[in-house]
Amino acid sequence: MADEMKDIVLKYVTAEYLEDDADPIGFDTPLISGGIVDSFSMVSLKRFLENKYKISIPDDQATPEAFDSVDKIVVLVRKFTQA
Amino acid sequence: MSNIGRYEDCYKTFDWSIAEKELNYQPHGVINIGWYCSDRICEMGKGDKTALIWEGLGGAEKRFTYHDIRRASNTIGSFLKGLGIQPEDRVCLFMDKVPELYLGVLGILKIGAIAQPLFSAFGDESLFVRLDNAKTRAIITQKKHAPKVRKILDKLPHLQFIIIVDHDGKAPLKDREVVFSLEKAAPVEKIEIHPTLAESASLLHYTSGTTGLPKGVKHVHYSLIAQYMTAKWVLDIRDDDIYWCTADPGWVTGTSYGIIGPWSLGVTQCVMDSGFSAESWYKFIEKHKISNWYSAPTAIRSLMKAGEEIIKKFDLSCLRTLASVGEPLNPEAVIWSERVFGKAFLDTYFQTETGSIMITNYLGMKIKPGSMGKPFPGTTAVVLDPKTYEPYPEAGKIGLIALKPGWPSMMRTYWNNEETYLKKFKNGWYMTGDRASIDKEGYFWFVGRDDDIINTGGHLVSPFEVESALIEHPAVAESAVVSKPDPINMEVVKAFVTLKAGFTASADLDLEIMNFIRKKLSPLAMPQEIEFTDALPKTRSGKIMRRILKAKEWGEEIGDTSTLEND
């Protein structure tokens, strides 16, 4: 389940935030601190996760740190899908 | 004692010739920002001093002395000349905050061409309108951003060269693409500096307007006089300081105070080319012993949100001067910085059009948290009655912030749009488009914009531009874009949308439209909220009344609705 979620999030981030011929990213690639996803774009990534997993992530938990890699995003999402 | 000394004394006696003399500029003589920011510092005997400490992702670090930036800018200028770039040709820089961006600006200026820096997160449509308007001849970019240029290339016949600074040879070059590598290019020790004069064009920065396309703000080499003086007196930069301006040179702060101000003063500056996190920023300050830090309210509020515990992990005693720009700094942030750093952030105010700081707080002056401060010496700032365009004689009245034209870094025109430029003046005053009041002690207090422009995280977004892009989405029939309050970014973009027949509002469509705008314009312009509605409020003549939608978002009185359709 977690692996499947990781794949889905990675695929989405790659499709939406990377240019066509950009170097591939991994599960632990820094997204926010690495400049791949900026703070404004984080809102659309959060919206994707909420739509996809039918959850609501409170703003105070949608921090740059919590969104900084696919691995970290999956940890965050699982907190709400398991709730 | 701060560089400015006693503000009141400076204000009374100030003349811009003070800066001219310090820079050895002779009126009517040659003045070239590229030379002043590199060669001159070397001629002063500081060639071996570090000019730039650049840090990228994963802590990658590059250092450049003033001799290095002199040679590197010569090398870039020489390469551009070799391509046939002429004085006054527009050369766009479309890059992340990599060294080539900073050095490229100097190189372009040295050969008399006009530097046109653009924010690298712009989508292809935002990029197109700016390159098309400027008839840009060359663009310097990275391979990661080249696809956005390729998408619009067919519509840009004037764009002759796409210069890629990090081509690795893995993919073949495409139409009009050429490679330049700063590391591999033979260093050019000497270059003929183009003899630009005070009124020679230097930079073209684009800014959003309420209606119409973005406007290219033309600056000239004489702007140096004001950028040098304000960096020295407001940011209090001294010879042994380590300076960090967090702004991207795609915006005016990033050139005026991320390139020209600090390098004309010969100081060491740091650049961090990676995303935001509180920990990485504090670590950066500690590691490089930053003494002067120029940032933005959005970042400061994000740091506040990260809490105070994290600050205790770092030794930030190196910090001496903190300043903020982009949007008004809320009083809580000033009070917070005094508590956690022992220093108040100095709020500063200027615009793309003004080129340098106009109204500001100063070290040594009483800080009133939440106030914009007082006009910079040599600047006459007033608040005008919006009915008469005359300055209010009494304190406390809310009106329009206006400036007496004539300061060195004032824009000279909007590119190919003199008509709009002339409309910025009333009764002999430059109208900023912002509203404020002045208290009895002469402090300015920001109230808000006098138009529909959205200031999000210190960046201006045109509702018109977003609305125009929204209706290009196949599902959108009509749209209205306004600001809504936001605790971090002050304002964010909100869109009201009516859908075409056959489309139904849904969470997926909401996300699809958000991403559509993000890619087409920029992440800043992406609506953070979309409200699907059956109809938009319009006047009887069919004009959408943004004012009503905005008032609802801000919990304000809706005001006169006599012209509202179906009222």
Lowest mean pLDDT among B213-217, B269-273, B470-474, B561-565: B561-565
Query: 10 Å Cβ neighbour count for B396?
Result: 11
Q: In this predicted structure, what is the pLDDT of residue B556?
A: 86
Which chain A residues are closer than 8 Å to B54 by Cβ?
none
pLDDT in tens, B117-152: 999 999 999 999 999 999 999 999 999 999 999 999
Alpha-carbon distance of A78 to B20, in angstroms, equals: 62
B41 phi, psi to nearest 5 deg: -65, -40
Q: How far is A32 from chain B (nearest CA, A)?
A: 5
Average pLDDT of chain B?
95
Give the chain B residue nearest A39 (alpha carbons): B276
* Section B231-236 average pLDDT: 98
B454-554: CATH topology is: GMP Synthetase; Chain A, domain 3 (3.30.300)
Lowest mean pLDDT among A15-24, B180-189, B328-337, B343-352: A15-24
B363 phi, psi to nearest 5 deg: -60, 140
Of the partner residues B275, B298, B488, the one whose CB lies closest to the CB of residue A35: B275
Query: 10 Å Cβ neighbour count for A7?
Result: 13
Lowest mean pLDDT among A6-20, B60-74, B227-241: A6-20
Secondary structure (DSSP) of B438-471: E-TTS-EEEEEESSS-EEETTEEE-HHHHHHHHT
Q: What share of chain B is helix, strand, coil (3-state, %, to 5)?
A: 30, 25, 45
**Residue B353 contacts residue B424 (beta carbons within 8 Å):** yes
* Bridge partners, B359 (sequence order): B349, B375
B7-435: CATH topology is: Rossmann fold (3.40.50)
The DSSP call for residue B44 is I
Q: How far is B456 from chain A (nearest CA, A)?
A: 10
Q: In this predicted structure, what is the pLDDT of residue B450?
A: 85
Q: A56 is written with which tokens?
A: 């609501």
The SS3 of residue B54 is strand
Preferred mutation among A39, A49, A61 to probe B, highest tally of B CBs within 10 A: A39
Cβ-defined contacts of B190-194 (< 8 Å, 24+): B190/B74, B191/B74, B191/B77, B191/B78, B191/B110, B191/B111, B193/B30, B193/B32, B193/B34, B193/B35, B193/B39, B193/B110, B194/B32, B194/B87, B194/B110, B194/B111, B194/B112
* Section B496-522 average pLDDT: 95
pLDDT in tens, B241-252: 999 999 999 999
Query: Alpha carbon of B398 to those of A3, B2, B81, B382, B450: distances in Å?
Result: 58, 32, 51, 11, 11
Preferred mutation among A13, A47, A51 to probe B, highest tally of B CBs within 10 A: A47
* pLDDT tier at B482, thresholds 50, 70, 90: very high
Entry pTM? 0.91
* pLDDT tier at B170, thresholds 50, 70, 90: confident
Q: In this predicted structure, what is the pLDDT of residue B529?
A: 96
Q: In this predicted structure, what is the pLDDT of residue B542?
A: 76
Which chain B residues are closer than 8 Å to A65 by Cβ?
277, 279
* Section B427-434 average pLDDT: 96
Q: In this predicted structure, what is the pLDDT of residue A34?
A: 83
Alpha-carbon distance of B11 to B15, in angstroms, equals: 9
Q: B424 is written with which tokens?
A: 């910025």
* Section B366-373 average pLDDT: 95
**Residue B91 contacts residue B138 (beta carbons within 8 Å):** yes
The DSSP call for residue B311 is G
Q: Which residue did the predictor score with more confidence, B258 or B560?
A: B258
Which chain B residues are closer than 8 Å to A33 by Cβ?
57, 274-277, 280
Cα B221 to chain centroid distance, Å, stands at 18
Which chain A residues are closer than 8 Å to B121 by Cβ?
38
Residue B293 clears pLDDT 70, i.e. is over it = yes
- Please answer yes or no on whether A33 and B275 come within 8 Å at the CB atom: yes
Q: In this predicted structure, what is the pLDDT of residue B90?
A: 98
Which chain B residues are closer than 8 Å to A31 by Cβ?
275
Preferred mutation among A25, A40, A46, A72 to probe B, highest tally of B CBs within 10 A: A40
Alpha-carbon distance of B108 to B102, in angstroms, equals: 10
Note whether A33 contacts B: Cβ–Cβ < 8 A.
Answer: yes
Q: B492 is written with which tokens?
A: 């964010």
Query: 10 Å Cβ neighbour count for B169?
Result: 7
Note whether A61 contacts B: Cβ–Cβ < 8 A.
Answer: no
* Section B219-226 average pLDDT: 98
The SS3 of residue A22 is coil
Q: How far is A39 from chain B (nearest CA, A)?
A: 8
Predicted complex: ipTM over 0.90: yes
The DSSP call for residue B376 is P
Q: B515 is written with which tokens?
A: 């991403």
* Section B421-436 average pLDDT: 96
Structural domains of chain A, ranges and CATH numbers in brackets: 2-81 (1.10.1200.10)
Q: B421 is written with which tokens?
A: 């430029």
B51 phi, psi to nearest 5 deg: -100, -35
Q: How far is B15 from chain A (nearest CA, A)?
A: 42
Q: B293 is written with which tokens?
A: 């830090």
Of the partner residues B145, B273, B515, the one whose CB lies closest to the CB of residue A16: B515
* pLDDT tier at A83, thresholds 50, 70, 90: low
**What residues does each domain of chain B span?**
7-435, 454-554
